Amino acid sequence: MTERVLLKEVRPYGEGEPVDVLVEDGMIARVGASIDVDADEIVHADGAIALPGFVDLHTHLREPGREDAETIESGSVAAALGGFTSVFAMANTDPVADNAVVVEHVWRRGREVGLVDVHPVGAVTVGLKGEKLAEMGTMAKSSAGVRVFSDDGLCVHDPLLMRRALEYTGALGGVLAQHAEDPRLTVDAQAHEGPNAARLGLTGWPAPAEESIVARDCLLAGHTGGSLHVCHVSTRGTADILRWWKSGEDRGGTVSAEVTPHHLLLTDELLETYDPVNKVNPPLRTDADAQALRQALADGTVDCVATDHAPHAAQDKCCEWSAARPGMLGLQTALGVVASTMVVPGLLDWRGVARVMSENPARIANLGDQGRPIAEGEPANLVLVDPEHRWTVRGEELASIAANTPFEGMELPGRVLTTMLRGRITAHEGKARQ
């Protein structure tokens, strides 16, 4: 039976006069003015902006192992409400997603929930220990079809192991997402190394610990012909390295990078509060770093936005700074922060938002049905956004089990009205549809 949804008066990419979009059986059937047909559901968008559904390359769903912080179901609800149609679940679960059994569990559970496409990320090394490559081929051939591999939270710091991992990932047609952190330079690190950390007595996490690994890995990607994706870029120096790499010709390999919403907006001045909700890895940097990251995202040096959504149970955050786990919620606030830091100041228009939150991450992960144009014959993975709506973040109102948002009480612009996955509405007016 054909299922029809008619979206009335939407503005694709925020451009031009409002049009109607007819969705049939998961595909965009027609785009035009005043479409008049019988439909199972009509959504009156009143000029809302239509964008391709967002794709998050960096999500922590905590299941299996820490269901007290997040589950695949609660994280999927948060993702749908945030406008996402596809998320990549990081491998640092318990047990670690370093084998076919675990990645297939995550993949199947995501399909059962059905609100977003949940793609498990496979670990690069066994147990995230950085000693021996994990069963990457087995995970790639499993039902989950893993193509993104990462030890996120930990760096593949051994250069020879990193070289082999890039070679192996390339042979699998995948991408290696690196958490760039030289562990020798960040022993006991608690915050960005600078005047603020020094004054507060916190051990510093120096910028070169990230930058030196990124430079090394770019060279290894070129040497091996592999695909490197740099996770959560946090420093001006890393942006400069990426800009240098991308300006060259015939370097070999492929290098892409992401930035988190919190690194675009927040800075190490928040250390003054000693509030562990602001503790994250890599740490919040300086205002100069944040400004450089915004520019790098605008000019394409950094390819995309990824949330690094990292829910934590209250006991892991409501404690002294040194004992708190690093990480912040991000799925439901990502659009608002990107709108605040990039759209409002004119660094990106809404087509640019589609590029960095949907098209580029889909391309990096080689997702054929995501990040597609809003046009007839394309998959109906869509999000409708009210750009004028300003809303105040309340942690207890977010869908995640955890509530560790650094944006508590902050007013953000832009709100997701409707999310659609393959023609089915998964979130509408602040409620998920399961």
Q: Write out pLDDT tens, residues 371-388.
A: 999 999 999 999 999 999
282 cis-preceded (ω within 30 degrees of 0): yes
**pLDDT the model gives residue 150:** 98
Q: Is residue 294 a contact partner of residue 260, using CB atoms and an 8 Å limit?
A: no
Distance CA 29, CA 5 (A): 10
Going along the chain from its start, the domains and CATH numbers come out as 62-365 (3.20.20.140)
Quick one: pLDDT at residue 434? 78
User: Rounded distance, CA 145 to CA 107, Å?
Assistant: 9
- Averaged over 86-115, what is the pLDDT? 98
- Is residue 167 over pLDDT 70? yes
Strand pairing of 382-392 and 411-421? antiparallel
How many whole angstroms separate alpha carbon 422 and alpha carbon 22? 13
Would you say 327 is a known binding-site residue?
yes
How would you label 40-76 residue by residue, b for 16+ Cβ within 10 Å and e otherwise?
eeebebeebbbbbbbbbbbbbbbbbebeebbbbbbbb
pLDDT (average), residues 289-301: 98
If you average pLDDT over residues 336-355, what whole number do you get?
A: 98
Please compute the mean of the pLDDT values over residues 96-123 and round it to a whole number.
Answer: 98
Task: Identify the pLDDT of residue 250.
Answer: 84
Under the banding of pLDDT at 50, 70 and 90, the label for residue 249 is confident
Contacts of 154 (CB under 8 A, 6+ apart): 92, 128, 130, 179, 181, 183
Q: How confident is the model over 311-327, as pLDDT tens digits?
A: 999 999 999 999 999 99
Report whether 377 belongs to an annotated binding site: no
Q: Is the pLDDT of residue 11 over 90?
A: yes
Instruction: Using pLDDT thresholds of 50, 70 and 90, give the confidence band for residue 157.
Output: very high
232 is an annotated ligand-binding site residue: yes
- Find residue 107's DSSP bridge partners: none
pLDDT at 3 over 90: no
Annotated ligand binding at 308? The verdict is yes
Mode of pairing for the β-strands spanning 4-12 and 19-24: antiparallel
Q: Give the residue-averaged pLDDT of 124-148.
A: 98
Name residue 302's amino acid: V
Check pLDDT > 90 for residue 308.
yes
299 marked as part of a ligand binding site: no
Strands 424-428 and 191-192: unpaired
Residue 188 is assigned to a ligand binding site: no
The residues facing 119 across adjacent strands are 88
> How confident is the model at residue 107, as a pLDDT?
98
| Average pLDDT along the chain | 97
308 is catalytic: yes
263 is in an annotated binding site: no
Q: Average of pLDDT values for 215-239?
A: 98
For 421, the token pair is 């996955």
- Is 105 annotated to bind a ligand? Reply is no
Cα gap 78→80, rounded to integer Å? 6
Tally Cβ neighbours within 10 Å of residue 321: 16
- Note the pLDDT of residue 34: 93
Nearest Cα to 117, choosing from 148, 63, 72? 72
Confidence of residue 2 (pLDDT cuts 50, 70, 90): low
| Three-state SS at 86 | strand
* Position 1 pLDDT exceeds 70: no
Tokens 């996402």, located at residue: 84
93 pLDDT band, cuts 50/70/90, is very high
Which of the residues 56, 217, 308, 386 is marked catalytic?
308
Tens-digit pLDDT profile for residues 16-68: 999 999 999 999 999 999 999 999 999 999 999 999 999 999 999 999 999 99
